[in-house]
Structure formats: C-alpha cells, structure tokens
Amino acid sequence: MNNTSNSSKNEVRLALILILVTLLSGVLLQFGLQLYADRAASRAGTAIAVSVLDEIQDGFQEIRTVQDDAAERLANLPQRKQDRLDALQLDLLMVVSAESPLPEGYAPELDTVVGDYQLDARCASLCWQMMQDCRESGHGLPMICSAYRTQEFQQFLFDNKVYDVLWEETNDREKARELAATIVALPGTSEHQTGLAADIMDEVYPYLNEWQEHTEAQQWLMEHCSEYGFILRYPDGTSDITGIIYEPWHYRYVGGKFAREITKRGITLEEYVAWRRGR
C-alpha cells in the first residue's frame, strides 16, 4: 500500500515537473523568439537607417550640385543681362525730369544733324532723314531749332526764362522759378542734355507755341515720327503727367520698337515706362 502511494506521489511530482518544464520552455522560447525578432528588427532598422542616410547624402550632393550650378549662373548673369539690356537699348527710355535728373557727368556720343545742331549718334541721321522726307512729301518745311544742350547752355536758357516770367507775370522770384521750370527745364533735368531730343518747327511759322501744331510740317511729323523712332514727347493734355507744358515741337528719340508701342497706345513716356515696369 505504501509502495503504491509513494509511486503515485512520484508520478504527480513528475507530472508537475513536466508541466513546469513545459511552461518554462514556452517562456524561454517566446523570449528567444522576441529577442531574435528584436535583433532582426534592429538589423533591419540599421539597414533602413543606412539606406536613408545614403539617400540623404545623395540628396545633399544633388543640392550642392544645383547650388554650384546656380552660383555659376549667377556669376555669369550680370554680364549676360547687361548684354541683353544693351541689345534692347533700354537707356533710350530714360525719363529725365525734375524728379529724375541726369547722372552727374552724363555725356552722350554725339553726331551732327545739320549745321551746329547735334544729337545722340544713334538718332542724328534719323532726325535728318525724317525732316527730309517731310519736305519731299510736300508737307511743310521742317527745321531744327534746338538739339543737344550742354549744362551751361541749359542754365543760360533757364535763367533767361526766369527773367521773362519776372517781367511778364510775377515779381516773386521763387514763383517765377517754379513757372519757368514748367517751360524750360532746370539744368540737369532737360531731355536736350541727353542728346535724344530735338525741337523742330515749320519755317512758315517759326514760333514755339501751341499754334505750331497746325502747321503742315507738325501735322506730318506727328503722324510719321514713330517710323523714325521718335515720339511727340509732351502731348496736349499731359502736363499733369510730364510736368511740362504742351510742346507740339518737341520730339524725343526712343528707338523704333518703343516709339511704335508708345504711339499705338497713345500714352506718354512716363506711362509707358511705368507699364513696362509693372508687366
């Protein structure tokens, strides 16, 4: 009986041991699998991280390449841009006024139109051709009466106009200067100092006033001047824009392309320049 009882107890202990071993084995197996999985994930993560780092480095290299290319282009841009601007001759669109005086020491390359009258070398022959074509068409007798002016001559003209206004309209010298500046530009602010402007009148009416617009020569010039690269610089009704009185005799060279666009739009040089800047 005792032997049987001891045998049963041994079997129970053995069963319990087997169960514990089985449970422990399961735990160890699970721990082992998790550890393996973690290490595998770690290895995979490392591989992914390395791959990502490689891609980032490649990206940085591409960025550096782009930056280097951009830097090279930027280094070359000023000259290319200057060449392009020179080709377009945008300097022909310079607005010269009391608000925008000429750069100090500005000196255009000049050529003779006729007699002692000179203009910028780019437009002197065109001005002469325009007047000749007007004559040959039988529409008046255009003659140039003012072209390029030096700083000193512009000062002389302005001072004379101040004296005229003092004599004819007001004894207030400051007011006289203001009124004179609407008729004769202050030295350094006159288009005539650019060499791009010419005053042209009809010999049959040699007076620079608004009646000049009714002469045959002015009628023809107003209609055809853009064909030669000129515009009527101070049209009627634009004094609030230009700051200058209506001058149906004052022609300004801006080049063929710009002259056609300005004439087609029916606007002043100031408005055209503003439009181009805003495009």
Cβ neighbours of residue 139 closer than 8 Å, sequence gap 6 or more: 216, 217, 219, 220
pLDDT at 98: 87
Same domain, 63 and 138: no
Same domain, 105 and 70: no
Considering the domain boundaries, does residue 242 fall inside one?
A: yes
CATH of the domain at 263: 3.30.1380.10
Q: CA angle 94-97-99, nearest 5°?
A: 105
Same domain, 123 and 22: no
21 has pLDDT over 50:
no
Same domain, 84 and 212: no
Place of tokens 């390395």: 50
What is the pTM (predicted TM-score) of this model? 0.67
pLDDT at 171: 80
Per the CB < 8 A criterion, the answer to whether 241 and 271 are in contact is yes
Considering the domain boundaries, does residue 77 fall inside one?
A: yes
Q: CA angle 265-270-273, nearest 5°?
A: 75
111 has pLDDT over 50:
yes
Total domain count for the chain? Answer: 2
Q: According to DSSP H, which parts of the chain are helical? A: 2-88, 124-136, 151-168, 173-181, 216-224, 239-242, 256-265, 269-278
Considering the domain boundaries, does residue 175 fall inside one?
A: no
Same domain, 118 and 45: no
pLDDT digits (tens, 9 = 90+) for 119-132: 999 999 999 999 99
Residue 205, beta-bridge partner list: 202
DSSP 96-156: -SSSSPPPTT----EEEEETTEEEETTTHHHHHHHHHHHHHTTS--EEEEE----HHHHHH
For the chain, give the longest Cα–Cα distance. 159
Backbone angles phi, psi at 46, to 5 degrees: -60, -45
Same domain, 123 and 78: no
Same domain, 129 and 69: no
Considering the domain boundaries, does residue 59 fall inside one?
A: yes
118 has pLDDT over 90:
yes
pLDDT at 31: 53
Same domain, 78 and 200: no
How many Å is the Cα radius of gyration of the chain? 44
Considering the domain boundaries, does residue 200 fall inside one?
A: yes
Q: Which residue type is seen at 277?
A: R
Q: Among 50, 72, 88, where does a domain finish?
A: 88
Q: Among 88, 109, 138, where does a domain finish?
A: 88
- Provide the residue range defining the domain that includes 247: 92-149+190-278
**Residue 2's pLDDT band (boundaries 50, 70, 90)?**
very low
pLDDT digits (tens, 9 = 90+) for 158-211: 999 999 999 888 788 888 998 898 888 899 999 999 999 999 999 999 999 999
| Residues forming the active site | 247
Considering the domain boundaries, does residue 180 fall inside one?
A: no
56 has pLDDT over 50:
no
Considering the domain boundaries, does residue 1 fall inside one?
A: yes
Same domain, 38 and 102: no
- Residue 5 corresponds to which tokens in the numbers above? 């009882």
Q: Which residue type is seen at 267?
A: I
Average pLDDT value for residue range 243-259: 96
Same domain, 37 and 132: no
pLDDT at 168: 85
Per the CB < 8 A criterion, the answer to whether 110 and 148 are in contact is yes
pLDDT at 60: 44
Same domain, 6 and 111: no
Same domain, 2 and 122: no
Considering the domain boundaries, does residue 73 fall inside one?
A: yes
Q: Among 88, 120, 137, where does a domain finish?
A: 88
**Distance from C-alpha of 260 to C-alpha of 173, rounded to nearest angstrom:** 41
